[in-house]
């Protein structure tokens, strides 16, 4: 019988990686080639909310976009797109998201279709810098390690 493979995505706003679990008693293993680094956010150089007026020498109010949020959303899309591709070719059966509440919301917003059915659970904590042994203690609520 083929083991049930669970991918655990450990993410924050700057980095993400995948660890895998292949059944009770097997522990966690870092998955080679499944790490991501977010691009640097481009910060506007003008004063926030102020731009040069096109009608004369004055300044006018300008709506500023949140470069940090745009960058984090783009990063979440990149992560989910690659994971969804791997799910479609059956590299794993179940998915667990482990990230801070803000990033977990961005990741969850990008998950749809078949991948949403594979989502086993979420842990709203940033454990991305923790060792695999420490992460195992938090996963015990969702899967048998």
Per-residue pLDDT at 103: 96
- Class of 6-39+58-139 per CATH? alpha beta
* Helix pair angle (67-88, 101-110), 10° resolution: 50
Give me 50's structure tokens. 């102020």
Question: Residue ranges per domain, the chain?
Answer: 6-39+58-139
Residue 101 has pLDDT above 90, yes or no: yes
SS3 for 52-92 is ECCCCCCEEECCCCCHHHHHHHHHHHHHHHHHHHHHHCCCC
Cα–Cα distance measured from residue 74 to residue 71, given in angstroms and rounded to the nearest whole number: 5
- In tens, the pLDDT along 48-63 reads 555 666 666 666 555 6
- In tens, the pLDDT along 109-125 reads 999 989 999 999 999 99
Question: What average pLDDT score do residues 6-13 get?
Answer: 95
Per-residue pLDDT at 61: 58
Q: How do 94-99 and 119-123 pair as beta strands?
A: parallel
- In tens, the pLDDT along 64-93 reads 667 889 999 999 999 999 999 999 999 999
Report helix, strand or coil for 2.
coil
């Amino acid at each position: 019988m083929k083991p049930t493979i669970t991918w655990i995505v450990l993410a924050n706003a700057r980095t993400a990686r995948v660890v895998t679990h292949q059944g009770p008693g097997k522990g966690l293993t870092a998955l080679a080639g499944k790490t991501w680094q977010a691009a640097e956010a481009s910060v506007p150089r003008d004063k926030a909310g102020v731009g040069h007026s096109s009608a004369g020498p004055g300044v006018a109010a300008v709506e500023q976009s949140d470069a940090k949020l745009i960058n984090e959303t783009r990063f979440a899309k990149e992560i989910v797109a690659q994971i969804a591709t791997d799910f479609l070719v059956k590299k794993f059966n179940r998915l667990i998201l482990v990230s801070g509440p803000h990033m977990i919301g961005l990741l969850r917003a990008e998950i749809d279709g078949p991948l949403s059915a594979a989502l086993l659970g979420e842990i709203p904590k940033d454990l991305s810098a923790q060792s695999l042994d420490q992460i195992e203690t938090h996963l015990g609520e969702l899967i048998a390690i």
